[in-house]
Amino acid sequence: MPTTHETLRAVLVASRRDRSLIEMAAQPVPASFLDGLAIQADIAKTLGHAEAGWKVAIAEDGTPVAGLMPGPWLAPGDVYDGAIGAELRVEIEIALRLAKDVPMRPNQPYSRAELLAHCDKAYLGIEIVESRLANWQGVPFALWLADALGHGGYYLGQELDMKVLDEVAGLTCFISLNGVTIYDQPAVHANGDPVAPFLAWANRKDELMGGLRAGQIVTTGSLCGGVLSPGKGEIVTKLAPLGGVSLTLR
């Protein structure tokens, strides 16, 4: 009988290859967050995904986690093609580019300043969250991890001053669909400091997903939560007053 690992690897690989959705309730749940990460890593290896970037987060129990972002990497104005029936959520974020490798150092944790010194650029980023799981509200987090935290694609917008990481308070997140506002609220990061999940992942104890390497993009987490798009069409996002990214969902 197939294990949970084998079952999820097979079904998620198939769904990503043919851009289909699977029923969450029909899937086994990994026994732990680390098991979820291991399955995600195996899926990425099977699909030949490049380690081009990472979305980092901190689980409710304090465990640092990450999702591989192999692409598509999109420019403002490009079209994002979602799977038929998939829920698409929009997240306004600040992304960082690594200028040099960040090797694991379990006995010498990185400081915030030291970690940021490994980065040379910050960007306004827009993540499209598109899970392979249909009806994924309330999904067990270990299963969400196996699905790469629902990563769909990423838009890299304009370059920002690195100081924005210290000045999130006072910024505003705005999203509209086909000219109708669907979100307009102050920017808030779930961990307070946008660098917190990146720092937690850099100081992780287990290497399951691959390393933090020069040239990769690390996104620091949403400043607006995951905003469900009620339909397809022209999306305008703004991290006011700094700038914005326009795109098309299709």
String of DSSP letters for 101-132? -B---TTSPPPHHHHHTTEEEEEEEEEEE--S
The percent of residues above 70 in pLDDT, for the chain, comes to 100
Class level of CATH domain 4-249: alpha beta
Is-contact 65 33, C-beta < 8 A? Answer: yes
Compute the distance between CA of residue 35 and CA of residue 229 in angstroms, rounded to an integer. 31
Task: State pLDDT tens for residues 173-189.
Answer: 999 999 999 999 999 99
Is-contact 88 249, C-beta < 8 A? Answer: yes
pTM score: 0.95
Band of residue 203 on the pLDDT scale cut at 50, 70, 90: very high
Average pLDDT over residues 131-135: 89
Strand partners, 65: 57
Compute the distance between CA of residue 250 and CA of residue 234 in angstroms, rounded to an integer. 9
- Extents of the domains making up the chain: 4-249
Compute the distance between CA of residue 215 and CA of residue 197 in angstroms, rounded to an integer. 19
Query: pLDDT averaged over the chain?
Result: 95
Strands 53-58 and 217-222: what pairing?
parallel
Task: State pLDDT tens for residues 56-109.
Answer: 999 999 999 999 999 899 999 999 999 989 999 999 999 999 999 999 998 999
Q: Is the pLDDT of residue 240 over 80?
A: yes
The percent of residues above 90 in pLDDT, for the chain, comes to 91
User: Is the bond into 72 cis (omega within 30 degrees of 0)?
Assistant: yes
Cβ contacts of 195 within 8 Å, gap of 6 or more: 112, 115, 116, 165, 220
